[in-house]
Homo-oligomer: A and B are copies of this chain.
């Protein structure tokens, strides 16, 4: 009766479904990661922030926000909770007292080492369908693309001629402003 067509991603050869694939994989990653990181103040976000604090040398909150693509206002209360949990510490930079530099506490570093083990297991599971070689290629490609995106983020590129269509849209989307 209801013979459903073969289910899978029939458009895997199409060039316009990268966003879908990324969204699916990322959602799966988050789903598993949130379950595994339930004891971290803000789950996977808190994990990323903590990791950035431990790797970088006492980054400012703005640097953290730019690196993790998190809004500044979100970063504020995100750090509030991490600090309350004793994982990071905010200190006013004596050289520029406007900025707060965030560093991981000793306890935060120990905790982070544990968390990274859990997350590594999660990622193995997310990529379990890829053989070892494809897995590494995927990791490397994602890392390279992400690094390039971060480099391209600060100044939005010159090819912005297509942006900002006139408001004839039925979707009533808020137009993205071209900058600050």
Contacts and interface: CB of A to CB of B under 8 A. Distances in A.
Contacts of A165: 7, 38-39
Contacts of A145: 21, 24-25, 126-127, 129-130, 138
A74 interface: no
Contact of A29 (B15, B22, B27, B35): B22
Interface in A64-103: 68-69, 81, 85, 95
Interface string A141-169: 11111111111110000010011111011
Copies of this protein, total: 2
A38 B48 CA distance: 30
Q: Report, as a range, how many residues of chain A touch the other chain.
A: 35 or more
A8 B151 contact: yes
27 contacts: A6-B166, A8-B147, A9-B143, A9-B150, A12-B140, A16-B117, A16-B123, A17-B143, A19-B33, A21-B146, A22-B22, A23-B48, A23-B69, A24-B146, A24-B150, A28-B152, A31-B176, A39-B169, A39-B170, A43-B171, A85-B171, A126-B149, A128-B148, A129-B145, A130-B145, A130-B148, A138-B142
